[in-house]
Structure 1
Amino acid sequence: MKNVTLRQLKVFEAVARHLSFSRAAEELHLSQPAVSMQVRQLEEMAGLPLTEQIGKKVFLTAGGAELARHARVVAQQLREAEAAFDALKGLRSGRLVIGVVSTAKYFAPRLLATFRARHPEVELRLGVHNRELIVQQLAENQIDLAIMGRPPQEIGTHSESFADHPLVIVAAPEHALAGLRRIVPKDLENETFLIREPGSGTRSAMERYLSEHGIVPRQSLEMSSNETIKQAAMANMGIAFISQHTVGLEMAVGRLATLPVAGLPVMRRWYVVHLEDKHLSPVALAFRKFLLEEGVPLIAAAVDSPLAPVRAAARSRRARP
């Protein structure tokens, strides 16, 4: 394969990562036929099939898996070269790829906007996924830094906490438990829990809390996003164990109520995480330092900003004669 190009390796690495020609084309801003042509040219040079399609699914052959491994190594070396050049330039430019768990999407844009205002030449990319996918992206070195609630134990990482992360149980104001002044964990056994999908950090935290208190929910309804869970809770379909950072607006306008359960909120932490052996670029180092020094007030501002009009309206009503 003496004549293989970096472009062809980049295309094949994307196909191998997504196991999809269309998603690789979308990521690389190419047409699907162009991606297919690059892979066919690689197959001709290799003298072996690299992919096979069964139904609508794409699989790697043994040769494809081997080439994908080498393509990832080449891609990583190119990223390291790019980071080295960025280091020579300082913070005037550079690229930073950040992955955040879905619960952090309520404050992550505020963090990035503030950082970007100080470093306008830096190229930022933000991906929002559940915890399982963020861990996978860390392991495959697809992201420089991750913001998450619980650092992974299954891969070697370096993590530093930078802000509190309170978890609460909420329900519709008309829910029977919402009118109580004090609730013990056992009171929750007969309730329907609105829960996130497997792989979610919020779900893992909820399962640990329930297990610690010997609670087996009567019924649970699984949903794939915090927004859907909030809507279901407001419709009084059940109660939700959820990050307090996601429900400030709904509580301020009276659509949700925090249940006064003994032992809550569960106070966890937000972490900035990267691979243990990863060489961080100047941009990544600067962003990590920025989170550690300024994350707390910026998260508070991001969570509180939707509430400002609500509070202003409430003050106006109280001021009327």
Structure 2
Amino acid sequence: MFPVESLSAFRVFADHLNFTRAAEELHISQPALHVKVRKLAEAVGRPLYLRTGNHLVLTADGERLARFARDRERQLTEFLGELTGTHAAEPLVLAAGQGAYLYLLGDVIAAERQDLRLVTASRPETLARVRDGRAHVGVAVLDAVPTDLECVLLAAYPQTLVVRADHRLARRRRLRVRDLDGLELIVPPAPRPLRVLLERWLHGVDWRVAVEAEGWPLLLHFVGLGVGAAVVNGCVRTKHVQLPIVDLPDVPYYAIHRRPDDPRVARLVGAMVAAVPQTT
């Protein structure tokens, strides 16, 4: 018989991927937790996690079971809340990166803050959290739209070059990649995604690294100090001169979720579509 009573324990283990922390949260012993996870694996007939070095990772079957356990807990909570009228709905979990929080989602968060729990995550982490149920909605830049998730385009922005007002390019209205020839650029460290893309896009252009920096705010700070120029997404707001690079691809931001039938998720995504600026 399938040990249904062990699903909640496995969900906690999947959240931590650490038996010590999961057992502490569940207020049971580590051996007892090991037994619960082992019985689930025996019932499924496949391993649910693997050890890689000093870390534990879920197998594909473990991820599916963790997703099922989270969905089951959420459905039970919602059902009991509707039945008794005493349990408040859990907050919606929103996962997004630093740039989305800084430049896209401020109005939405201010309006919905009482119903949201925010998680800062990279693009791969955001997709993983939405897939396994740890986040209700994610916001991320997608080069390719995954077929297993609901993806709603929020906006697409040009790539732009940010320079000080005294820079030789500051009077231009728009640029092409060839116009970046000879520039000193402030760039993210390798192998950050933008650095990889810049090296691909600017192949054949003579440019040099002025300084490596993480995050749009620090890149813009160095621009203001006169260290160099920086290529940033067009959603970024700055007091400096910002010039679109017309022959680089636009940057599309999507709202990502798994539950199109959830009215709260649909309302949050709708609020994002209405609030996210289409141009800057």
The verdict on a shared fold, with TM-score over 0.5 as the criterion, is yes
Over the aligned positions, Cα root-mean-square deviation in angstroms equals: 4.3
Q: 2:160–2:232: 8 Å Cα contact kept in structure 1?
A: yes
Structure 2 residue runs of 5 or longer lacking an equivalent are 42-48
**Does 2:225 align with 1:224?**
no
Note if contact 1:164-1:268 (Cα within 8 Å) is conserved in structure 2.
yes
Task: Describe the shift of the 1:273–1:285 C-alpha distance in structure 2 as closer, same or farther (beyond 3 A).
Answer: same
Residue 115 of structure 1 corresponds to: 112
- Rounded to whole Å, the distance in 1 between the matches of 2:51 and 2:158 is 47
The answer on whether the counterparts of 1:191 and 1:239 sit within 8 Å (CA) in structure 2 is yes
2:11 maps to a residue whose letter is: K
Distance 1:197 1:141 in 2: 31
Take 1:204 and 1:135, find their aligned partners in 2: how far apart are those partners?
20
Percent of counterpart pairs with the same letter? Answer: 17
Superposition pairs for residues 1-321 of structure 1, below 5 Å?
Answer: 5-16=6-17, 38-44=29-35, 46=38, 57-59=54-56, 70-82=65-77, 93-106=89-102, 107-116=104-113, 123-150=115-142, 152-153=144-145, 156-178=148-170, 183-196=175-188, 206=198, 209-210=201-202, 215=205, 217-219=207-209, 221-248=211-238, 251=239, 256-258=240-242, 260=243, 263=246, 267-275=250-258, 278-292=259-273, 294-296=274-276
Residue 308 of structure 1 aligns with which residue?
none
**Partner SS state of residue 118, structure 2:** strand
Question: Is the Cα contact below 8 Å between 1:135 and 1:152 reproduced in 2?
Answer: no
**Do 2:175 and 2:246's aligned partners in 1 also have CA atoms closer than 8 Å?**
no
Shift of 1:170: 0.6
Q: Distance in 2 between matches of 1:20 and 1:195?
A: 40
Q: Could you tell me how far apart the structure 1 residues matched to 2:61 and 2:149 are?
A: 26
Deviation at 1:40, TM superposition (A): 3.0
Pick closer, same or farther for the CA change 1:51–1:206 going to 2, 3 Å: closer
5+ unaligned residues in a row in structure 1: which ranges? 26-31, 304-321
- 1:295 to 1:208, Cα distance in 2 relative to 1, 3 A: farther
- TM superposition score normalised by structure 2: 0.71
Deviation at 1:169, TM superposition (A): 0.8
Determine if contact 1:4/1:42 at 8 Å carries over to the other structure: no
Q: Confirm or deny: 8 A CA contact 1:195 1:229 kept in the other structure.
A: yes
- Report deviation, 1:196: 3.5
Q: Distance in 2 between matches of 1:152 and 1:167?
A: 18
Count of matched residue positions in the alignment of Structure 1 and Structure 2: 267
